């Protein structure tokens, strides 16, 4: 089964020009995918530790140059993450060139190589799979974290969340879950339904004062704290958590 993703948040991307601090939200959503993609793409050009350093510089570059992200425009069949892969790879190549002794005469690649998403270089299928899977896992991790917090605050029964985890994370059927937890099948079904409803309706990813860098260790560990890391209160939807979990289980 192929992974299904939430829609690209073009409303957020469009307003980066007026609210550059929102670039931190976008970078945070995609940072894990960018880093994994760069490790695969640059594997023959640098060692893992160097690629980690380069990836940090790329993420920092995107945070400090929000106009690069603001240039993206949707198109028929567009994928913002593929546009982002092109921009990130160009920035990574520039960083590699700057580290070489002969970099003084190297011509940097422009960030704006492909302003429109449909004009972006079409990535190889292998690279697309890495980026897509990393993004889906990042979405899932964030959604599960917030659902567990909701349960801890009393907004969702822990027993209902446990049933959802057994189903999505462990791939168990409801009948098997009911037997293992010594529940009647109707009780198990009701708990699953309640957790499913919470996953569909709960709004994830923030409380006032939350900073995007706190959700991505690589951004957090950068040597310079970008001025655009202002306190954020942007919220994202967890409505895809169920289908994402099933899709990732199918791919294991």
Contact call for residues 45 and 229 (beta carbons, < 8 A): no
Tens digits of residue pLDDT in 220-243:
444 344 333 332 233 333 444 444
Of 138, 160, 159, 131, the closest CA to residue 204 belongs to 138
Q: Long-range contact list for 140-146, CB < 8 A, 24+ apart?
A: 140/241, 140/244, 140/245, 140/248, 142/204, 142/205, 142/215, 142/236, 142/238, 143/199, 143/204, 143/238, 143/240, 143/241, 143/244, 144/241, 146/202, 146/204, 146/205, 146/238
34-81 pLDDT, tens digit per residue, is 888 888 888 877 888 888 888 888 888 888 888 888 888 776 555 787
237, containing H or E segment: strand 236-237
What is the model's pTM?
A: 0.54
CA-closest candidate to residue 239, choices 197, 181, 179: 197
């Amino acid at each position: 089964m192929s992974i299904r993703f939430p829609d690209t948040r073009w409303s957020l991307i469009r307003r980066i020009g007026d609210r550059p601090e929102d670039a931190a939200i976008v970078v945070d959503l995609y940072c894990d995918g960018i880093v994994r993609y760069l490790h695969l793409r640059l594997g023959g050009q640098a060692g893992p530790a160097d690629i980690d350093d380069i990836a940090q510089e790329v993420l920092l570059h995107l945070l400090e140059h929000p106009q690069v992200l603001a240039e993206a425009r949707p198109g028929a069949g567009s994928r913002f993450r593929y546009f982002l892969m092109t921009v990130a790879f160009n920035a990574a190549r520039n960083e590699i060139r700057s580290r070489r002794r002969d970099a003084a005469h190297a011509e940097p690649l422009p960030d704006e190589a492909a302003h429109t998403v449909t004009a972006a270089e079409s990535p190889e299928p292998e690279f697309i799979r890495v980026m897509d899977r990393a993004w889906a896992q990042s979405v899932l991790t964030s959604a599960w974290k917030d659902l567990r917090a909701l349960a801890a605050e009393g907004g969702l029964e822990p027993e209902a969340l446990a049933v959802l985890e057994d189903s999505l994370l462990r791939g168990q059927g409801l009948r098997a879950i009911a037997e293992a937890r010594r529940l009647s099948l109707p009780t198990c079904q009701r708990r699953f339904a309640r957790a499913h409803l919470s996953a569909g309706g709960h709004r994830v990813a923030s409380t006032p004062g939350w900073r995007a860098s706190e959700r991505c260790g690589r951004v957090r560990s950068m040597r310079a704290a970008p001025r655009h890391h202002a306190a954020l209160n942007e919220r994202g939807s967890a409505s895809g958590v169920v289908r994402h979990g099933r899709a990732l289980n199918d791919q294991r």
